[in-house]
Structures are given as C-alpha cells and as structure tokens.
Amino acid sequence: MMLVLAPAGPAAASTAPDVMCEFTDLRLSEISGMAPSALHPGVMWVHNDSGDNAKLYALKLNDCSIVGELSLQGVSARDFEGLAAGVDLNGRPVLWVGDIGDNRDSWSDVSIYRIREPKKLGNTSGQVKRYRFTYDDRPHNAETILADPQSQQIWIVTKQLASGSIYALPKKMKKTGINIAKKIGSTSGLITDGAMKPDGTGFVLRDYFDSQFFNGRPAGELVQEIELPAQPQGEAIAWLPGENAVVIASEGDNRLLREPGPRVVAPSRSQEPELEPEQAPAAVQGQSINYVTLLGVVSGSIVLVTGLIITRKRPKNRTNGSTKKAE
C-alpha cells in the first residue's frame, strides 16, 4: 500500500494581533523566555537568547519598559532557553531559568537554576540554586520549561524537528550529582516555549506557527491549536494572570502580542441530542477533519485496489510460478 504523509489538521485561525506594547530598550534584543511576576502585578520577567549575560529583565506590560534587572550570581549563561514561575518548598515565589539549549544534542548534562523573585524591582542580584540533569535516553536540545505553580515539579519539553518529547524531572531534585529527567509523553516538532496556567489546570506550548492548549498536567490532553500571528522567530509565550489569554514575543520583532486562549462554548438546550462517540463525526468529537490525510487514505486505497485488479487479470505462469505461505 502506498503511504502518504500528511500534516496535522489545520489550527484555528488567529484574529488580527493585539499589540500590548512595543520594545524600545536595546537590552531586549532576542527575547527567548517569559514568565509572569507573582509579586508585581502587570510585570513579566523575560530573558534573552544566548549571547547575553545571566540576567532577567522585569518588563512592564503597559508600555514595554524595563523596570527591573535581576542578575544571577555566579552563573555563566551557556544557552538560556526557558523561564518559568513557580514556588519553593515554603511556597515562596521563585523563577526557574533553563540553561537547556543544546543545538547539537551533545551536552553530557544541562542545568536549571532557581532564584527567589525579588520583592523590590530595580537593579538587583540574587543567589541561585543549580540543578544539573540529563535525559534518560540521550542528550536533547530544549527550549521549554514548565513549572507546577504549587510545587517544585518541573517538566522539560525538547525541541526536535519532527516531534519532541516531554520529560519530568524528579519532584525533589538533588543539588549534587546529575538528576535524570524521564520521558512521559510526546509533542509535535519545533516547540520553542511553553507555560503552565497560573492555577495549574493546564498548559500551553508553542512552535513557530501555532499554540497548543492542553488540559491537566503534562503530558496533558490537547484541547485546541490556535494559529499565531506571523513572527520572524517566535520563541516566547506566557499566560496572562487572571485572563484566558497568553502573551507572545519573538526575536526580530519589537511587539509584545496578546493572544486569546481557547474558547469554551456551553451547549445550548435547543441543540440536538449528542451522538454516541462511535457514531459522531470527527468534528462533533472535538477533532477537526484533516482532508489532506483523508485524501491520502483514499489515494492509497485506490492504488491498492488497482494493483489487486491488475494482479488478478495477469495470466498465471503455471510452469515457473510458485506460491509460498507467509510466515
């Protein structure tokens, strides 16, 4: 049978981008990670891609101005590629910074840093706790950290071309030695960032084109894909606290964009009775019909049937022919 490779079903189209503000500060050259502040309303922590020092910047959402700069003491940023907001064992707000970029899939281990969120903004510095880890199969490139807002549980999402994976770090990581991240699920390819919902009931992942919204903790259940506005190199996404919306940023784009999350539509009493799952069409079950895949299946079936007809019409060679039962 002819196999036809087809892309996944189309994502829901995004509306015109809602520009929250535009960057003018030259320090924000390559935003690669974002996380909302738990102590300062209307502030988002961000970091640049590789090439910058080990610093986080407090970004004011109403005008994109930098209102704080947090230096990580004693840290040399090899390839910062992820930022998440969480809590420590005492429930105090912390920021998790991932030095997890590995474009050649070759590092023997990578690092994640935990730093307390400062109570006051401005130019500050803070001591960090470093946790080294590797994966349970082989080295991976990654750009995404997901942090449980109610515990120290951390997940890493790898960035591969065809498909990525979700790995869970130990809930209680050791400060010495190498921690092992275990694979718990798979994702689509080229995931560049993600974030847990502030209430911990779901999470979002993004690639260069779409956002994917999930229910539950990782690996979660995919709810909806939403097409993102065109960006040169979209590598940052974070939830907006108190809203069913996310904020996105890109390298080479000075705009901070707000994007709505998936819409939940309550069923109307006037609607017809719901079909049983095995009777319902794909659209009723919350799945979009992938016509490209359908076309591939139909084409493959036609080729198969045509081949069978030709085979049946072909005269048998009774002298040299042989038949062997498949084992």
The pLDDT value recorded for residue 16 is 75
- Burial grade of 308 (CB within 10 A; 0-12, 13-18, 19 or more): exposed
The DSSP output letter for 39 is: S
Query: Exposed, middle or buried by CB within 10 Å (0-12, 13-18, 19+), for 18?
Result: middle
Q: Which of 256, 312, 292 is nearest to 59 (CA)?
A: 256
CATH code given to domain 18-260: 2.120.10.30
Q: Which two tokens stand for residue 54?
A: 């080990």
Largest CA distance in the chain: 92
Q: Tens-digit pLDDT profile for the chain (327 aa)?
A: 333 333 344 565 556 789 999 999 999 988 999 999 999 999 999 999 866 789 999 999 999 999 999 999 999 889 999 999 999 999 999 999 999 999 999 999 999 999 999 999 999 999 999 999 999 999 999 999 999 999 999 999 999 999 999 999 999 999 999 999 999 999 999 999 999 999 999 999 999 999 999 999 999 999 999 999 999 999 999 999 999 999 999 988 999 999 999 986 444 333 333 333 333 333 333 333 343 333 443 344 443 334 433 343 444 443 333 333 333
CA-CA-CA-CA dihedral for 160, 163, 165, 166, to nearest 10: 110
Query: What residue type is assigned to position 242 of the chain?
Result: G
Q: How many CA atoms lie less than 13 Å away from 62 in the CB half-sphere? A: 3
- The answer to whether 143 touches 193, Cβ cutoff 8 Å, is yes
**pLDDT value of position 246:** 97
pLDDT of res. 269: 37
In this predicted structure, what is the pLDDT of residue 15?
62
Enter the pTM of the model.
Answer: 0.77
CB count, 10 Å around CB of 257? 21
Contact 110, 104 (CB under 8 A): no
Contacts of residue 175, defined as CB under 8 A and 6 or more positions apart, other chains included, come to 129, 130, 131
Strand order in the sheet with 82-87: 82-87, 93-99, 110-116, 128-135, 179-188, 163-168, 154-158, 142-147
Task: Check residue 38 and report its DSSP letter.
Answer: S
Q: Identify the burial level of 164 via C-beta atoms within 10 angstroms of its C-beta, where 0-12 means exposed, 13-18 middle and 19 or more buried.
A: buried
DSSP output for 49-77: -BTB-SEEEEEETTT--EEEEEEETT---
Task: Specify whether the CB–CB gap between 100 and 155 falls below 8 A.
Answer: no
Q: Can you read off the two tokens belonging to residue 279?
A: 């009777």
Which residues are 94's β-sheet partners? 86, 116
Nearest to 10 by CA among 210, 184, 181: 210
C-alpha to C-alpha distance for 21 and 64, rounded to whole angstroms = 6
